[in-house]
Structure 1
Amino acid sequence: MALRIERDAERGVALVVLDRPTRLNAIDLQMADELSSVWRELRYDVSVRAVVLTGAGTRAFCTGIDRDTKVPQPPSPYAIDDPLLRIGPKANDLWKPVVAAVEGMACGGAFYLLGEAEFVIASSEATFFDPHTTYGMVSAYEAIAMAQRMPFGEVARMALMGTAERVGAERAYAIGLVSEVTEPGGAVAAALRTAAVIAGYPTDAVQGTVRAVWSAKEAARTQAMAQAPALIALGNLGPERQAELFAGRRDAGGGEAPRVR
């Protein structure tokens, strides 16, 4: 199993853990399938009224899609097969509140998950960045997800600066990406506390509020997402060249250390 799920029936909270710490909780096809399944399962579990999502260990919440994952693509610039489009709770029609707890790195494809959480709690050691442009890829779905949570200039800077720069927890808090910053190692406990409070309120009122908040931005998000496949098809380097760029940075030890702001 690539996921670990812990249910606290007394408090009405489920903890969903991305459990591939040796791969920095990167998402392979198995984890993508398990995420989709668990969100759909939780729709029917009346004992769970709020969810906390986190990654195992303290090095990373999630580092996006596993680089070893091969996803065949349709031979058309008008279509794209992206397994991460189905990993989020909203993509699977789960409207119970989800709180993300971030320790360590959250980058790239992690934003598919953070973008579908109600809010994010991070430890002071958390960092956020988007490596796509560094490796010759268009940041489309990721940037769109973050544009729902961050000011335009901050999204653009993070997406365009690639691996050269990371957004620290305090800066993420200042721009609204993160709602609370905890001591190192404290993000999950803080998220569980908030989830337990929310789970204690009348369920229909909570889920109705979640739907109301999302309806405020859903039209713009849907229109933007519809443009993403063509932008990716036109702007991405070929897989071989992407792999060369990735391997080159890895062989060089990652290049210069990223600036944290």
Structure 2
Amino acid sequence: MGAGAAVSLRVSTDKDSGVAVVTLDRPDRLNAIDLGMVAELKKCWRELRFDDSVRAVVLTGAGGRAFCTGIDRDAVVPQPDSPYMQDDPLLTVGPKANDLWKPVVAAVEGMACGGAFYLLGEAEFVVAGTTATFFDPHTTYGMVSAYESVLMAQRMPFGEVARMVLMGTAERISARRAHDIGLVSELTQEGGALEAATACAAVIAGYPAEATQGTVRALWSAKEAARAQGFAQAPHLVSLGNLPADRQAGLFAARRRDGFRVR
């Protein structure tokens, strides 16, 4: 990060428990990911690979209103003028994308939507407060949900993923429903997700690191082939299906903030 650049990520480490808490810290932007945060996340995961005092990680968002709302719409991402090449900065924000195989537990309060699934899709499991909601707005704004759909298809029943990504902003999955379908492993009272996730991480961190990291690696080996195949199709589908940026912006500007149901 350049001199004077705002820091949008906080990392706190408890050497006694072996748990690091990584907090997305742009609450005024609902923890949307700008290019600065992309760089910070990559740096964070790479550094945690070398910190042997950290044996488990909790990932959460600041402010309580949102875990993360995906890519910041003000972020400018230049694209090659070719349907065969596409730059997606969110492909590099997750722990697995940065070769970190320490267990990661996500703690979700408030909204988790769109590009948030790049992060949730690379956590081992998710703990959520009762007011958490999950949705994918891509189709509403004329965009293909590609990477998000692939990642969530490995965490949720097919019909639930299909409904979420196709219904766009018209519906949000409640924390209770997310728990019922297996996306969320533990449901807490509002504001309790971080404490519960940290307690789980502390238990895991108390076990031999070689065993937990090997187990994480084994778990992910069962998913890698399907994910790689899905991701290979994503750039072409996005190039074919996305509306031009100005039309996306028009749909976004015309959005209704209260026009959804929670199920």
Same fold by TM-score, threshold 0.5 exceeded? yes
Could you give the per-residue CA deviations for residues 211-239 of structure 1, whole angstroms, max 9, x where no partner exists? 11111111111111111000000000000
Deviations 1:174-209 (A, max 9, x none): 111000000000000000000000000000000000
The yes-or-no answer on 1:172 pairing with 2:174 is no
Tell me how far 1:79 sits from its aligned partner: 1.1
Q: What is residue 91 of structure 1 aligned with on the other side?
A: 97
1:39 CA displacement? 0.2
Verify: 1:226 aligned to 2:232, yes or no. Answer: yes
Residue 85 of structure 2 is aligned with which of 56, 62, 79?
79
* Stretch of structure 1 that moved more, 105-114 or 215-224: 215-224
1:27 aligns with 2:29: no
Runs of 4+ residues deviating >3 angstroms: none
Tell me the amino acid that sits aligned with residue 177 of structure 1: L
**Aligned 1:1-261 pairs, distance under 5 A:** 1-249=7-255, 253-254=256-257, 256-261=258-263
Residue identity in the other structure for 1:260? V
Cα distance between partner residues in 2 of 1:34 and 1:155: 29
> How far did 1:89 drift?
0.1
**Matched residue pairs, number?**
257
* Uncovered stretches (5+) of structure 1, i.e. residues with no partner: none
CA deviation map 1:234-260 (0-9, x unaligned): 0000001000110111xxx42x53111
Partners in 1 of 2:103 and 2:15 — Cα distance? 16
Secondary structure of 2:190's counterpart equals coil
| Counterpart code for 1:100 | A
CA positional deviation for 1:23: 0.2
User: What CA distance in whole angstroms lies between the structure 2 residues aligned with 1:45 and 1:258?
Assistant: 43
The CA deviation string for residues 124-180 of structure 1, in whole angstroms up to 9 with x for no partner, is 000000000000000000111100100100000000000000000010011110000
For 1:52 and 1:231, how far apart are their aligned partners in 2? 33
- Secondary structure of 2:145's match? coil
For the aligned residue pairs, the C-alpha RMSD in angstroms reads 0.6
Q: Which amino acid in structure 1 is aligned with residue 91 of structure 2?
A: L
What is the TM-score of this pair, normalised by structure 2?
0.97
The one-letter code of the counterpart of 2:70 is: G
One-letter amino acid of the counterpart of residue 252, structure 2: F
Q: Secondary structure at the match of 1:214?
A: helix
Distance 2:244 2:177 in 1: 34
Superposed displacement of residue 52, structure 1: 0.1
Gaps of 5+ in 2: 1-6
Corresponding letter in the other structure for 1:48: V
**1:85-137: CA deviations, max 9, x gaps?**
00000000000000000000000000000000000000000000000000000
